[in-house]
Amino acid sequence: MRKPFEFLRPVDRLLTVYLLSLTLILIVFGKNNSGFSSLVFLNLIFILGLISFSFLREKLISNVLGFGLAIFPLIASIYLYKESGQMVHIFYPGWYDNLIMSFEINLFGVLPNFWLEKFFSPVTTEIFMFAYFIYLPMIPFLCIYFYFKVNPQALDQFLLPLILAYSICFLGFFIFPAASPRFVLDGGKELEGFIFRKIMLYIEGNGQFQGGSFPSAHCAAGTVMIFLSYRFDKKLFAFVCPIILLFFLATVYGRYHYFSDVIAGILIGLASVYLSARLSKNVGATRQFDRLTALSEAKEWVAPAEKAQLPKKRAI
């Protein structure tokens, strides 16, 4: 007999647990938050949508519709990013940027964001801003590639570490809130560039919030992209890896993140890839065991029935 909610993939279960955990945090600590009730309501709506879409996905034959339902966790992560911005001060009303800057100055003798100013030029800025910009559509591109070019299971194997990395980073945003260098650094040189610098200024003003700096969710996701592209297609890896490495530098160069944010994000990405592989292996082994058990039980039921139906031999 099929277990309840067996149709939920590991990534669906992970996201459900994360949403329930956020809801609990909001109920316990967020009563003074003006948007508290709406966030709790939206979390429950996303859980319901996640379960419903997962159920429908198994019933569909269409690859296109199946893909749209399969990437729902990625769509939910956009909402979760915005939600973490509203929850950034749920535990602590201030910022920990001074701790990060003091640590890096003691370690390097200078803040890496300021050290990189010696390389400032419109051309350099444009190259780094291109790397930062191209990261944004790269995630949906990889989702499409894995699902249609490799197989739907490859998409699942990509989404699990990606959503795990995002979840850890989003929790970090309000456990250790940091505003980000571009909000707190004074006296530095202005970044000058061309079209991609203007595009990033627009994105900064409309898609990002103060906070969400430590750890870097972008670098965590970039690490996942490197490893999963290498796993499924070496040619794809050769395209993805250089861009992501340049993107890591761009986050510090453009003052989106401290150097510590980048390292923390990369470590979270590595941990997410490792833990997801172990989780997928255990889930696969469990399902294989369940199938073998079911077959064994079926044989036990069939064998007596077959014996009962066999004609008795006549005595000679």
Q: Are 126 and 194 a contacting pair, CB within 8 Å? A: yes
**pLDDT reported for residue 136:** 87
- pLDDT tens for 210-269 read 888 999 999 999 999 999 999 999 999 999 999 999 999 999 999 999 999 999 999 999
At 88-145, the pLDDT tens digits run 999 999 999 999 999 999 999 999 999 999 999 999 999 999 999 999 899 999 999 9
- What is the average per-residue pLDDT within 180-185? 90
pLDDT value at residue 311? 53
Task: Give the Cα separation of 316 and 313 in Å (integer).
Answer: 9
Q: What is the pLDDT of residues 45-76, one digit of tens each?
A: 999 999 998 888 877 766 888 899 999 999 99
What does the mean pLDDT of the chain come to?
86
Q: Is the pTM of this model over 0.75?
A: yes
| pLDDT of 307 | 52
Tens of pLDDT, residue by residue over 187-208, are 677 888 889 999 998 888 887 7
